[in-house]
Amino acid sequence: MSHGSATGIYAGRTKGAGGKSYSVYRTSDGHTLLTGDDLGGQKGACLVVYDRADTIVERKVFDGLTMLRHLRPTPEGTYLLAAIGQVVELDAWWNIIRQTKVAGNLFKAVRLANGNILCSSGPGARFLKELNPYGEVVREIRGDHLTEGSFTGFQLQPDGHVVVANWLGHGPDHDGTGLVEYDREGSIVWRYGRPHASFVEVLVLDGLSGKGLPTAPVQEGKGHHFACTDYTAGKVFIVDAEGKFEWDYAAAACNDLWALPNGNLLFNTGHGVKEVTRQKAVVFNYESSSEIYACQRLTNGNTFIGECNAGRLLEIAPDGKVVKEVPLLPAGKDGGHLYMRNARQLANGSYLVAHYGEQVVREYDSQGRKVREIPAPGGPHSVVRLPNGNTLIACADMRGSPHVIEVDEKGETVWEVKADELPGIHLKFMAGLQRLPNGNTVMANWLGHGQFGQAPHLIEITRDKRVVWTYFDHQTMRTVSSVQLLDVPGDAAQGEVWH
C-alpha cells in the first residue's frame, strides 16, 4: 500500500533541505512542503516550501514546538500539523491560529467531515482520538489488543472506516501486525503483517482517482443520488450515490430547488426562478427586482414564487404571466432582505411562509389572511407541511442555537434536533429539509457566517436521531442551502415530495 507514481518511473528529488524531514506534501499549485528539524539552514522545528524548480521559496521556524510530524491541508485552506503534545492549526501564511493539547508524540491529524479532528498517537502509544472544536475527546480507537507497535499514519475511507499503520519500531526484527482497519465503532475488520517489516504510513489505492489525495471521506453511510443548491458558490449540483458530480449549473444566490418528474430542475436565482433541462436549456424563466428565495411547481403546472422584499406570493403560468398575486405587505413597502425565506403553497390553497427576520412561521389562507403563527426562534429558513398535518421547520443561527422542530396542529413541538445533539456533528444554520417516506429527515447544514468547512453539508437522521448518512465536499461546495434526494420515489409536482 505504499504510495508512488503509477508508472514506477523516477520523477525527481528535492535537494537542499538538510536536517531531518518527517513529512512531505505536494500542493495543487506544485509546491512541495517539508516539515522536520533543522531544514533549509534553519534551527529547530521548522517548515520549508519548494517551488516547481526545487527552489526554497519559504522558510518558517516554529518556536515552542517539538518534533513536527505530518502536515496536512484542511478544506478551509488552513493546515493541521501534528507535534509532540499538540495539534497545531496554521493559516496560509504559516501563522499558528489554534493549538489543541493532546498527550503523546502525535504523528498525524486531519479534519473530518463533521469539523472535528482525528489524530494518531505516534511513537509510544496506540490510539486514534477524535477531538471536537473545543479540544474534547468525543471518540477514541485504541490498539490495546495489539501486543506491540505505535499508531502513526492513517487514511480515512468513504465508508467511515480508517486504515492505520502500526509502526513496530526501528530495525528488521518485527513480525507483528503492521496495518489495521477499524470500523467506526473501533472493531477490527482487517489486518496485515509482513515479516521483518515496519510500516509508518499507509495509502489505500482501492478506488483512488483524481488529481489530489483525500484527507477525509466525502460521505459516511449509504450514499444518495441528490440535487442541491449552493448559495455562496452560486450553483446547482446533481451528485450521484458515490458522491461524484454529474451536473452543475450557475445560479446566483440559489436557495430553493425542485427536481421535477421530467428530469428538469426548478430553482431560484437570487432575483428570479428558472426551470432548466439536463441539457441546460432554460424552459421557464421569471425575473424580478425583488429578492426571491422560494419557488414550487404546482399541480396545475403553474409555478409558485415568493418575493422577499416585495412581500408577494405569486402564481406564474408557463408563459410567464402572473395569474395570481397575494400581497403580504402594504403596497410600496419594502420588507427587506430578511422578510421571507422558504414558502410553500399547500394542497388547500393556503400558504406557509418562513418569516426569517421576525423568527416566525405564518400560515395564510388563499387570500393572504393570517390563520396561524408558529414561533421559530433562530429564524425559520425552510418549512414543510407533512401528510399528518404537522409542520417541519428548519431554524437558523440568529440566537446561536440552530435546530429543527416538528410542530403539531396544536402548536406543540413533537420532535426536535438541537445544535449539539448529534454525536460528533455540529448544526451551524439549518436550511433545506426533506422528510422521507421511511420517517428519516435529510437536513442541509448551511455553513455560512464564518462556518465554511466546519461540518457536513448534508445530514440524514432517523426518527430517534441516529445519524445514518453525512455528505461533504468542502473543496467544491461552500454553503448547501437546499436538497432533494433523487433516489426516493415521489412526484414533486403532485405534492409527493415533502421538502
User: Measured between alpha carbons, how far is 46 from 270 in angstroms, rounded to an integer?
Assistant: 47
Pair 92, 232 in one domain: no
Within 10 A of 145 (CB to CB), how many other CB atoms are there?
A: 10
Which among 92, 117, 119 is positioned nearest to 105, based on CA atoms?
119
User: What string of DSSP letters covers 68-85?
Assistant: ---EEE-TTS-EEEEEEE
The count of structural domains within the chain is 2
Buried b / exposed e over 34-67, threshold 16 CB at 10 Å, is: bbbbbbbebeebbbbbbeeeeebeeebebeebeb
3-state secondary structure of 494: helix
Please tell me the pTM assigned to this model.
0.62
Nearest to 252 by CA among 277, 275, 231: 231
Residue 386 lies in a domain: yes
Same domain, 321 and 389: yes
Q: Looking at this protein, which amino acid is placed at residue 498?
A: W
Structural domain range at position 445: 219-494
Which single residue is written with the C-alpha cell 497545531?
Answer: 88
Q: Which residues pair with 24 in a beta bridge?
A: 34
Q: Return per-residue pLDDT of the chain as tens, 499 residues.
A: 433 333 333 345 555 567 888 889 888 778 899 998 888 888 989 999 998 888 999 999 999 888 888 999 887 788 999 999 999 999 888 999 999 999 999 999 999 878 899 999 999 999 999 999 889 999 999 988 777 889 999 998 877 889 999 998 876 666 578 888 898 888 888 888 776 778 899 887 765 444 333 444 367 788 999 999 999 889 999 999 988 889 999 999 999 999 999 999 999 999 999 999 999 999 999 999 999 999 999 999 999 999 999 999 999 999 999 999 999 999 889 999 999 999 999 999 999 999 999 999 999 999 999 999 999 999 999 999 999 999 999 999 997 889 999 999 999 999 999 998 988 788 999 999 999 999 999 999 998 887 877 788 999 999 999 999 989 887 788 899 999 999 999 999 999 999 9
- Is 74 within 8 Å of 118 (Cβ atoms)? no
Looking at the structure, do residues 187 and 264 belong to the same domain, yes or no? no
d(CA 25, CA 33): 5
**Rounded to whole angstroms, how far apart are CA atoms 449 and 111?**
19
Q: What is the C-alpha to C-alpha distance for residues 395 and 402, in angstroms, rounded to an integer? A: 6
Q: What angle do CA 231, 233, 237 make, to 5 degrees?
A: 80
Same domain, 171 and 313: no
Please tell me whether residues 371 and 466 are part of one structural domain: yes
Shared domain for 122 and 227, answered yes or no, is no
CB contact at 8 A, 201 and 166? no
Alpha helices in 408-476 (DSSP H): none
Q: Residue 190 belongs to what H/E stretch? A: strand 188-192
Identify whether 368 is part of a domain: yes
Rounded CA separation 141/293 (Å): 44
Boundary (domain end) residue, out of 157, 192, 227: 192
Do 70 and 62 contact (CB within 8 A), yes or no?
Answer: no
The CATH code of the domain that includes 113 is 2.120.10.30
